[in-house]
Amino acid sequence: MAKVSVMNDNPVVRYLRETRAELSKVSWPSRQEATNLTIIVLVTVLVSSIVLGGFDYLFAKLFSLIIGIQ
């Protein structure tokens, strides 16, 4: 009699089975939701980069005036 036990399975096979089972439980976003969220992320990254770049530029100018480098 063949006894199938999860404990005796190959760890890689068990991992893949468990991963597939967990992925089937995920509530995936629709295409529209994914597009909207992607746009939000890109706009947020763009605005953050502009703000941080502006601060970097201002501090570089400030320190160059303090130190006397032109």
pLDDT score, position 63: 92
Residue labelled with tokens 């130190």:
67
pTM of the model: 0.62
Residue scoring higher pLDDT (38 or 3) = 38
Residue 21 pLDDT level (bands cut at 50, 70, 90)? very high
Residue range 28-63, pLDDT digits in tens: 999 999 999 999 999 999 999 999 999 999 999 999
- What are the structural domain ranges in the chain? 29-70
Decide if 57 contacts 63 (C-beta within 8 A): no
CA distance 48 to 11: 43
Amino acid code (one letter) for 9 = D
